[in-house]
A and B are shown apart, each in its own frame.
Chain A
Amino acid sequence: MNFDLTEDQRMLVDAALAFTRKQSPVSRMRKLRDDPIGWSPEVFRQMGELGWLGLPFPEAVGGIGGSFVDLALVLEQLGQTLVPEPIVPSLVAGMAILAAGDAAQQRAYLTPMVAGRSSLALAWAEADGRYDPGHVTTRAERTLAGFRLTGHKRFVLDGHAAAQLVVSARDGKAVSLFVVDAKAPGVQVRPVRTIDGRRAALVELDVEVAEDRRLGGDGLAALSHALEVGAAAACAEGAGIMRAVLAMTTEYLRTREQFGVKIGSFQVLQHRAVDMFIETELAYSAMLAAVIRIDDPDLAERTAAVTSAKVQLAESGRYVTQQAIQLHGGIGITDEHDVGLYFKRMVALNAMFGDAEHHLARFAARPGYLAGV
């Protein structure tokens, strides 16, 4: 058992922290809220050059072939200043391609993303399906040249800006994944503003795609794995958010004066801050278990680690960000103050890749839940 960072991981963390300080403080994200894309293609390319986007991807597609833990460490740091580039949407779509695509497909679709030249998005959620990846009404029908995809996808993260969409569709009885050019005729992408100042898309598909656009592997398995990775990634980013919000709040308690004293001298506020600290530590601990176990062949352990971390994120993240606003008092509910931006990003993280109830149900449905009972 060891939770120390390796020398390489330490360098990675330092580089990510330096990036947040020098290039992407919260003020950058705040400005980009009004940008139609909401993030910067140049910065995304820079992230590719730094190797961040390729951390968990194999060398054959230009990746580093490292562990998911490495990427999680980067995401945690970027979460501290709400860096808006769509690493997680590209990561989950990329994971699906990696799991279900053949070598040629992996090279074709992953290489540009890993290099930071373009982003990917995973179009899986549909109306009436909540978080069930198996609820797929989008249809794939054979045509002479390939397939015709018809259906609607909702809240495709970064779907408004991604070059390629990884789409789940019912292909006979099975679910297959298709890589669809977002600019192809018959793909209608309608951007939607999201609560965290970013963008998602509603995607309407009535599009013909070539045979080689279908990923050959088990679509549902690949999609489920990708969503699991997404959940763990959300936990990593959320851990960074909690750390930042806790620091911001304790700093405020140390400096703000009322009744002639620093408000941090009031015990009721001290104890609230301690509870925020406790929740931050617990969520961070749970996150570590999830990112370490994400590729664990032991299904029961892997599911337990990821689902419980996502539930912990929901509970702790909600507590920490809500109490951060409370302890800031009136200034905390102004748009001008950063604490609200963190609060809203946490709401978004909780709503994506399965909410607490979804993961609680999965936790209890996993094999081994009643072992020894």
Chain B
Amino acid sequence: MDLAFSPEHTTFRDEVRAFIASALPPHLRAKAESDAHFEHHEAMEWHRILFQKGWVAPHWPVEHGGPGFDATSRFILHDELEFANTPGLSPFGLVMVGPAIMQFGTEDQQRRFLPKILSGEEIWCQGYSEPNAGSDLASLKTSAEDAGTHFVVNGQKTWTTYAQYANWIFCLVRTDPRAKKQSGITFLLIDLKTPGVTVKPFLTIGGTPAFSETWFDNVKVPKQNVVGVIDGGWTVAKALLGHERTQLAAVGTIGRVIRTCKRIASRTKLADHALIDEPAFRDKITRLEVRHRSLKMANWRALAGAQLGRAPGPESSILKIRGAELSQQVYELAMELMGHDALAWFPEPGVVMDIEQSIASLFCYLRATTIYGGSNEIQRNIIAKHILGLG
């Protein structure tokens, strides 16, 4: 057994760090260091820089413009970007619909969509959830009626992350209303400029418009926009969930926020010592750090398996659950450490420390981590059934 990265991977990690140090523009670096919120155009600026470098889609195969990285290099790149807090890239094109089009799409679809996902020219969002189809996604009602050469789509999608910035949406729509739940659903690509589409952003408890609601009113969608087969959308959607299981734990982000906690605690001065010298707070920080290390190690085990091309083992199924919980816990601790500063909501510069500026908003928003991507309760149902054989 061996815990070290190979010399090649260590060299690659150094290369990634050097690249981030030189390529991240100063105005983004300042925000990254103070954990500030990135605007959509800033994320796209970073997207284009990574695209130029050839690293924007580390998991894409070479024939579609990926760099041909192995699992460990992909993890290293992801982890270093997270830890450096570079702007997060929208996953909907790169991680979700892109790979789906590679696996299930026609050659025409691949030629039409993939290059623009890669370059960032076209931005995607996801149309899965509906007001009455959350965890029970298969109960979705948005309908696509066969009208010869095209479908006519009617219904409402919600939680369409950053739809207000997107050009395209990939949707699960019901094409056969008589079929049983999972069958009769089709994976459909819809141009958001099509007449009849309405996008309305809404604020989250984090105070930022991360999500939109999207309405479809007699929207005509050409049949060549079906990915996979008609009524076979569930298969496509399920395959999407299996991608990059080793990156679900967000260990890079959690590690960075723990460092932020230590920074806040070190810079918060009391009469004759710093907050970090208070045993009660130091103990809280340390306990989270221990959990982070264990999770990182579980993540590395999953990664070592992926590097050898194995299917994800039991250790990988816990990554999403614990990563989501720990992400919330580290922000909660940061809030506690801030004391009165935690009261400030989007304060003017100088009211609180720079590194505290966005904590309250993120703390609130990240209540979402245990809900999105399959809630932690759904994840537990899956583990109970498929790993522990209960049910």
Contacts and interface: CB of A to CB of B under 8 A. Distances in A.
Interface of A: 1-5, 69, 250, 253-254, 264-265, 267, 269-271, 273-275, 277-278, 281-283, 285-286, 288-289, 292-293, 304-305, 307-309, 311-312, 315, 360, 363-364, 370, 372-373
Nearest to B72: A1
Given A270-B380, A273-B384, A373-B266, A253 B322 contact: no
B118 interface: no
Contact of B3 (A4, A289, A315): A289
Nearest to B266: A373
Nearest to B287: A360
B292 to A, nearest CB: 9
B5 A1 contact: yes
A360 B3 contact: no
B304 A364 contact: no
Interface in B38-56: none
Given A1-B304, A273-B384, A363-B290, A253 B390 contact: yes
Closest 6 CB pairs of A and B: A270-B384, A285-B297, A264-B390, A285-B298, A286-B294, A282-B294
A16 to B, nearest CB: 16
Interface in B247-263: 259, 262-263
Interface stretch (B194-202, B313-321, B361-369): B313-321
A364 B303 contact: no
A281 B298 contact: yes
27 contacts: A1-B2, A1-B5, A1-B303, A1-B304, A2-B1, A253-B390, A267-B381, A270-B381, A274-B384, A274-B388, A278-B318, A278-B322, A281-B314, A286-B293, A288-B1, A288-B297, A288-B301, A308-B289, A308-B290, A312-B290, A312-B291, A360-B287, A360-B290, A363-B290, A364-B282, A364-B285, A373-B263
A264 B385 CA distance: 10
B388 A293 contact: no
Given A2-B304, A372-B259, A271 B389 contact: no
Contacts, number: 128
B381 A311 contact: no
Given A253-B390, A312-B290, A372-B259, A285 B301 contact: yes
Nearest to A301: B3
Contact of A289 (B283, B289, B293, B388): B293
A269 B259 CA distance: 36
The interface residues of chain B, by DSSP majority, are classed as: helix
B387 A292 contact: no
A277 B286 contact: no
Interface string B272-293: 0000100000110111011101
B380 A370 contact: no
Interface in B1-54: 1-6, 9
Interface in B153-210: none
B377 interface: yes
Contact of B259 (A4, A69, A373): A373
A277 B259 contact: no
Given A293-B3, A373-B266, 17 more contacts: A1-B303, A4-B304, A250-B388, A250-B390, A253-B390, A254-B389, A265-B391, A269-B390, A277-B388, A282-B294, A289-B297, A292-B1, A307-B290, A308-B293, A309-B294, A315-B290, A370-B276
B297 A286 contact: yes
A5 B301 CA distance: 13
Contacts of B3: 1, 288-289, 292-293
A29 B287 CA distance: 34
B286 A360 contact: yes
Contacts of A311: 287, 290
A272 to B, nearest CB: 9
A3 B266 CA distance: 37
A304 B293 contact: yes
Contacts of A253: 390
A108 to B, nearest CB: 33
B334 interface: no
Contacts of A277: 314, 318, 383, 387-388
Given A273-B390, A364-B286, A2 B2 contact: yes
A309 B262 CA distance: 21
Interface in B69-93: 72
A360 B283 CA distance: 7
Given A3-B304, A308-B290, A360-B290, A250 B389 contact: yes
Contacts of B286: 360, 363-364
Contacts of B383: 274, 277
Interface in B307-335: 307-308, 314-315, 318, 321-322
B94 interface: no
B249 to A, nearest CB: 11
A313 B276 CA distance: 25
B125 interface: no
Nearest to A293: B3
A285 B72 contact: no
A275 B9 CA distance: 33
Nearest to B383: A274
Contacts of A370: 262, 266, 276
A250 B384 CA distance: 9
Contacts of A3: 1, 300-301, 304
A278 B321 contact: yes
Nearest to B256: A372
A292 B3 CA distance: 7
A373 B277 CA distance: 14
Contact of A273 (B5, B318, B321, B388): B388
B294 A312 contact: yes
B295 interface: yes
Nearest to B316: A281
Nearest to B285: A364
B80 to A, nearest CB: 14
A247 B303 CA distance: 25
A63 to B, nearest CB: 20
A273 B282 CA distance: 31
A270 B322 contact: no
Contacts of B304: 1-4
Contacts of B294: 282-283, 285-286, 308-309, 312
A309 B266 CA distance: 26
Contacts of A289: 3, 293, 297
A285 B259 CA distance: 22
A309 B289 CA distance: 11
Nearest to A263: B390
A56 B122 CA distance: 59
Contacts of B266: 370, 373
A295 to B, nearest CB: 12
Nearest to B303: A1
